[in-house]
Every structure is written in C-alpha cells, then in structure tokens.
Structure 1
Amino acid sequence: MKKPHIAVLGATGVVGREILKVIEEIKLPYESIKLLSSSKSAGTTMKVGSEDIVVEEATPESFRGIDVVLASAGASTSNKLAFEAIERGAVFIDNSSAFRMRDDVPLVIAGVNDEDLKKHKGLISNPNCSTSQLMLVLKPLNDYAKMKRLIVSTYQSVSGAGLKAINELTENTKASLNNEDFENLAFKKNIAFNVIPQIDVFCDNAYTKEEMKVVNETKKILHLHKDFPITCTAVRVPVYRGHSEAVTIEFENEITPQKATELLKNAYGVEVYDDVEKYEYPTALDCANKNPVFVGRIRKDIAFDNGISLWCVADNLLIGAALNTVRIAEYIIKNELYLNK
C-alpha cells in the first residue's frame, strides 16, 4: 500500500484541529503531512504526533506533490483552491458546501455509500454535519424496511457555526447573567438561554438553507428519488458541542422497535443507549469528543402504520466533519484511489 503525501487545508480552524487529532487517533498512514491555512494563520507552529510543523499559507503551488487534501477552510477557499489541487494530482476531500450537490462529485458518509468513492474525479464532498450523523442511522433501517417518508428536527450546537459562535455563547451567557446589554454578531437572536429556529439563510420556500441541505443531501447519499418526501426543521441551541436530532420515519414494510434496535446495535458507527425505565438515553453531553452516533428513544411512531421514531446525538465536529473526512481519506489510501497511481 502506497503511503501518500497529505495536506490539511484549514489546519488552524476548529475542524482542522479535530482532523489532526483524528489522523493521530486512527493512525492514518502517510509519508508526509503539510499544514495549510490563510495568510493570517501562516507561520503558526502545530504539533502533529511528536513533530512540530510550521503552518504554510495555502497557494496553488502548495499542492504540488500532494496525493490527498483534507480540506476544511470554507466554501470560498475550496472554490478557489480545489481544482488547483486536483490539477496538481491531489484528491481533494472537501468539508464545505461548495460542491455537495454537483452530479459529478461523490457526497459520502464512510460506512454508508463508500462505493461512490470509486467514481470520484479528484473531488469528494463531506456532507453537512446534521446530515452526516443521520445517514449512519437511516442506512440499516432503509436497507431492511425501505423508507417511505422522513421527518427530522435538529437541535444543533454552536460549534457548528465556528469559533465566533462558540465565543458568542460564552459572552452572551455572561452578559445575560449580569443583566448587561449584548450585541449579537454570530446569531440573529440571543443564543444564551434560548433556542433559535433558524440556521443559515431562508430560501424561497421558507425553509432555511440548513434544512434544505438535510433534505437534498439525504436523497443524494441514500440514492433516493428526487420526489422522496423529507421535511426538516433546524434549530440552534445553547450547547457548545454535539448535535441532537428527533427523527420519525415511515416505512414501506413492517418494522418493529425491537427489530430497529437490533439493526442499529449492529450498524457501523452507531451505539444504542436506550432504556427508558432507567432514564437511559443519549444527550449532547454524552457524545462530546466521542466517535459513534448514539441512538435512543426507539419506539413505534403512533402517527404511521409502519413508523419508527428515535433520538440520535453525535459530536458534530467529529462524525459531522473531521472523523468522516479522515475515514474517507483512509478508504482512498487503503484502496489506492489516487489520481496519480
């Protein structure tokens, strides 16, 4: 197996730092690693394993000799640099929303639709954080009973909006406790002691862009037809880390809560934590800094004949971003799906 030369684009950001942790945790094989960022962060020294590495400014020439890029630097940067990297022979694994819905770009959750990676032309997209955890839960259930309809409500932590949002929750909380005025910058409303039923901008259909990401990305990843009925409400909550989701699924075929539990217990990347008599169910605090998607409250939905309702939580910075990115890279390396073989 060829050990690749890899680069982490956006290495100094919240997700970039998590990517570096996961690379070390799973011992991703590589020959060399390059850390890239904006000019503002260039020159920073970061530790990768036992090595101190100086962060370089990302330019097109940064990707010469690189086999795999793990990118988490935002859509504008990806739009600017992705094809520069590909032109120089690198596979570009992108965390941004820039290319997710392009027909020629695989949108992949490792363990769900890995086969799509074999169709890549140099560019691979990582799904939205709220979509990512959902796919690992839906995949085994859909395979068994075939989904007919999907209803999702997400309760998303502030870290999904970056460092500015994390700091705003802290400062907004302090101001609220001290009865001080506070100016919101990251959010449209106070996030402290509040829930905000808006993530991203509103679309023409009155759904938010975040909600439509869940709708459209789910269809693409699970290869559902374009008219498959999905609805989503996405809510920002005053939690630092971990997204939670209330999920209701109507199926074509019969499925019991017991069977759903069995399937999820055996599913890749999923851990069931469900005993209501002992008040056991997963919360955002339970999932922070952990790799699995945790599932609980599995029950027959009383609104549909063949319905299951459940609750799932996951660390949005891991399975929703860094962990899936590194898992995709691991698959590329193991199967030698490089551009220059």
Structure 2
Amino acid sequence: MPRTLRAQHDRFELSQPFRIARGVKTAADVITVTIGEGQVEGLGEGVPYPRYGESVESALAAIEQARSVIESGAGREELLATMPAGAARNALDCALWDLEARLSRRSVAEMIGNPAPGRLASALTVVIDAPEAMGRAAAALAHAPLIKVKVDADAPEAQIRAVRAAAPHVGLIVDPNESWDRKLVEAMQSLLVEQRVALLEQPVPAGEDEWLEDFTPSVPICADESVHIAADVPLLARRYQAVNVKLDKAGGLTSALALARAARENGLGLMTGCMVSSSLSIAPALHVARLSDFVDLDGPIWLREDRAGGVIDEGGFLLPPAPGFWGTS
C-alpha cells in the first residue's frame, strides 16, 4: 500500500521563559511528521536545536529529501543508514514506530519487549534567575522527588545553595549547559558534595572535555552535549560516569535504545532527557526512561497548552499519555 508523508512546523508558547546558560526560550518550535498507509497514520515530533546547527527550515528540508525513501516503504533500520542523527530523523523514526504499532495492533512496548511505561519520577526544572528567585521557584517544587537546577558561571554557588535551602529533601541535578571551565569544575567539587548534588550534567563544552579522563569527580558527571549516538560511548566512558539520552540527539527511538544499551554495556549510568517539546516527543522517550537512573522529561510541563491527551505531571511524577496518543493501536 502506498505511503504518504507530511511534515509541518508547529509552535507551542511557553507559560514562562525557560532560561539556561545558552539563552532564553519563550516557545517550543517543533516539527510534526505524519506517515500514512491507507487510513492508518503514525505521528512523530522532532525539536530542531540551534546548538547542533539545526533549524526548523533545515529539518523540514532534510525530511523532504527523505520523502522518496519513506514513501517507497523504508523501515527504521534503512532510515538509520540514510539519514544522520538529529531532530528530522527523530520525527520520522518515531512516526514509523507509531505507524507500525497501529498497523500491527501491537503497542511499541510489545514491539520492544518491555512493559508499558507507567508513572515515574521526572525532574522538574528551576531555570536561571537571581538566587533568591531560584529559591522561591524551588520552594514551590520542594514536594517533588527530583529537581534539575540550571546554572551558569556567574553565581553557581549562590544559585545551588538557594535551591537546596528551599528544597532540602529533593534529589538535585545541576546543569551548567557547558558554561563552566575546568577551574570552576574543580572549585565546585566540595560544594556539590556539601549540597548533596546527585549528578552534574555537562559542565564544560563538548570538545573541551578531554581532561576529564584524568579527573576523579566527587559527584558523578553526566555527558549531554558530548553524546549523541551509541558510537560515542566507548570514548566518553573514559570521561563521564553517565550519559543523557535524548531522542532528538540520537535521531529517534531506535537509535536512543541502542545508545542506552551501549551505555549500560560500558558501565555508565543512564539519564533520559528532552528538549522543550510537546508530549508527542515525550511518549517515545518514556520507553528509554523506564530503563534509566534519572529522568528529565518535563518539556511539556513548560507549555501553555500541550497536545490533547499528553503526559501529566503529578507532583514530580510523570503520568503517561492517554491510551491511543502514541505507540498504541
């Protein structure tokens, strides 16, 4: 049966600005892909990320280049061989998973051979602001099991202390988004221990992390921007203690599952993260999240309005989408 492919740019306004060391976001710009066979359609979403040289326009162009391959019936493995990792391939790969689930009347969980995703703890984010404002934001989340603290190189000690004082019992992930250097990482070690930080995420720029091979951190360090696909893992296992798997970096659920397996085989901890996105990005990521030590999938929580039937935050616990939203018949 002939296939059809549609791709479009969708924008979701945020309920409040999302500030990290790299800049401020006020809306989530995503690519929505629909792949159809007859009356059955599969959906996928990708978030083009400027940090990796992506834009809405470049992602749509990449999808258009893949049109003939997809519409001729290519599967997920062929897609891996013909497109580079990134948001465009993520949207296509996830749409193919959803389409296969609906055509076969099997869930994606059944296809993978795992239980269906359920309620799981997922970090809630405190974005960069004045330390006092970050403390107030953390106080509102103090009931949650896990908080991710976005920091920069200007006042990280004050920012972390403010969050910890306001939320004394939660787990803490500190994420400088590549804004620190070696000197600051070394200087912050005792504070990270004192403030009971569970994980330090990508403190230095990707490509400037070779020195971590000879560094023994007091708190585990997680690669984010430094890791994209499974082939990256053997080298990074000498520098990091964990990796952050994001479907947009890996280029889809297929590649993300391979990255998660490679991380475990190399003795690394596992985190599942996301871009600021709708629940259509999060539904596939839940299949990696259930394998992870840390989960950070609060992207849709920042939206003024999510897609109908999407994930729900319940006090720092993420509830999966409604039946039939994605990956189920």
Structure (1 or 2) with the larger CA radius of gyration = 1
Give the TM-score normalised by structure 2: 0.30
Give the TM-score normalised by structure 1: 0.29
